[in-house]
Structure 1
Amino acid sequence: MPETPLHPVDPVVGPDQAESPMTGVGPWQGEWPEDPWYDPELLRDGDTRNVVDRYRYWSMEAIVADIDDHRHPFHVAIENWQHDMNIGSIVRTANAFAADTVHIVGRRRWNKRGAMVTDRYQHVEHHVDVAALVAWASAAELPVIAIDNVPGSVPIETFRLPERCLLLFGQEGPGLSPEALAAADAVLEITQFGSTRSINASAAAAVAMHAWVMQHVSFDAS
């Protein structure tokens, strides 16, 4: 699908009306576009979803299909020991960085509030335990890269992340289980310089995903 911006003359926002990224845009003014990715109900009623401008008025299915065309080849796994709010935040971050898939390990139910509805646009799979996740990763030929600040871990800033890999994160507090650490092909830590022992699990996931982006995504400097 092409890079489709908002209507070139911005039919929604007039000179006395400022668009807010939190409230979205109103009904489409003027002749409706005929491109198949537009959702007639959104064109009619407006689009208040938390999506970037290029996806305004697109159907959810069209957005997912378009992201699928350029998803990055890294996966994210979360060892879900408890009903952790951080899981939703990690799903939201994975969506922002166009991760291939998020894998939830353990309890199937998880708190989706932190995802801010991004789980609708992000592929999410469930595995009953670490063994099932590792078996899936092995079949997919994805090295497992654990992120945890445990003895023997390697600074992520000095490690070359594989282009295709599974980034594995643990719950806030206890971190990854011994089984998860033992199954990992590498264990990395995010270098810290202050007094706290650890950083928030969802923040750590964001740092690790961005580290992958910095190593594998080309940016035009012009």
Structure 2
Amino acid sequence: MTQAPDETTHPRGEDQVEVGVGPWPGGRAAWPTGERYDVELLEHGDRRNVVDAYRYWTVEAIVADMDARRPVGRRLHVAIENWGHDLNIGSVVRTANAFNAAGVHIVGRRRWNRRGAMVTDRYQHVSHHPQVEDLLAWAAAQHDGAGIPVVGIDNVPGSIPIEGYLFPRECVLLFGQESSGLSAEAREASREILHITQLGSTRSINAGAAAAVAMHAWAVQHAYEP
């Protein structure tokens, strides 16, 4: 199946607004050639929530191109604890796609609410780790055992302001649950724990929003490095 309802329309009252593009102009005779193109999309239109450069491409071609733009040495991984079916997980996955994260790691329960991801999980490498220690074992095994660091994001005593922090070029950003933040195991596993400086009365911001801020902070430093 090429597309899903969540990708094709956005509700607006009783009306629905189409996104994307229609069939390739000029009919079959004008179709571009190449394995990257999906013939169903060329014929019927591409209503997915993808950037224009990926219009009419197959999912596999999009993933392959995203992988090619993730050089070793500046890869961003995102991990989310899933002990209580946090509804923000889908939003975190969608943001990870926006920043072309190399991998998304679900820690805890395998099942998660995908609606907030808006089908972007199709274009991501999503892995599952039953416990935090399993995520740590995966991170430690990378690069022939050299490993990559895990950096926690949570507003807890002793945490470091994210502003001005020098992120590793390759790392795992670890996020906790909306209500309780990082688990004790996740805090212990993190090389450092960063917090987002806030100026209002609330103790924490939405987990999906916090993930977006943290990924952008990494991207500002490393996304465009050679």
Aligned to 2:215: 209
Q: Deviations over 1:92-133 (max 9, x none)?
A: 000000000000000000000000000000110000001111
Which amino acid in the other structure matches residue 63 of structure 2? V
Aligned to 1:51: 50
Find the aligned partners of 1:22 and 1:209 in 2 and give their Cα distance: 29
Q: Does 1:87 align with 2:86?
A: no
Find the aligned partners of 1:180 and 1:23 in 2 and give their Cα distance: 40
Secondary structure at the residue paired with 2:136?
A: helix
| C-alpha displacement of 1:36 | 2.1
Q: TM-score, normalised by structure 2?
A: 0.86
Secondary structure at the residue paired with 1:158?
A: coil
Aligned to 2:149: 143
Aligned to 2:118: 116
Match of 1:25 among 21, 27, 35: 21
Which amino acid in the other structure matches residue 83 of structure 1? H
Aligned to 1:5: none
| C-alpha displacement of 1:159 | 1.1
The percent identity for this pair of structures is 67
Find the aligned partners of 1:87 and 1:105 in 2 and give their Cα distance: 11
Match of 1:105 among 104, 107, 110: 107
Further displaced range: 114-123 or 71-80: 71-80
Q: TM-score, normalised by structure 1?
A: 0.87
Q: Gapped runs of 5+ residues in structure 2?
A: 1-15
| C-alpha displacement of 1:41 | 0.7
| C-alpha displacement of 1:22 | 5.0
Asked if structure 2 preserves the Cα contact closer than 8 Å seen for 1:73 and 1:100, the reply is: yes
Aligned to 2:171: 165
Find the aligned partners of 1:217 and 1:89 in 2 and give their Cα distance: 20
Find the aligned partners of 1:183 and 1:89 in 2 and give their Cα distance: 24
Aligned to 1:69: 68
Cα gap change, 1:22/1:213 in structure 2, threshold over 3 Å: closer, same or farther?
farther
Give the RMSD, CA atoms, in angstroms: 1.5
| C-alpha displacement of 1:158 | 2.2
| Number of equivalences | 200
Secondary structure at the residue paired with 1:134?
A: helix
Q: Deviations over 1:31-61 (max 9, x none)?
A: 1111221111100010010000011111111
Find the aligned partners of 2:199 and 2:179 in 1 and give their Cα distance: 19
Asked if structure 2 preserves the Cα contact closer than 8 Å seen for 1:21 and 1:50, the reply is: no
Q: Deviations over 1:161-212 (max 9, x none)?
A: 0001000000101001111101111110011111111000010000000000
| C-alpha displacement of 1:26 | 0.7
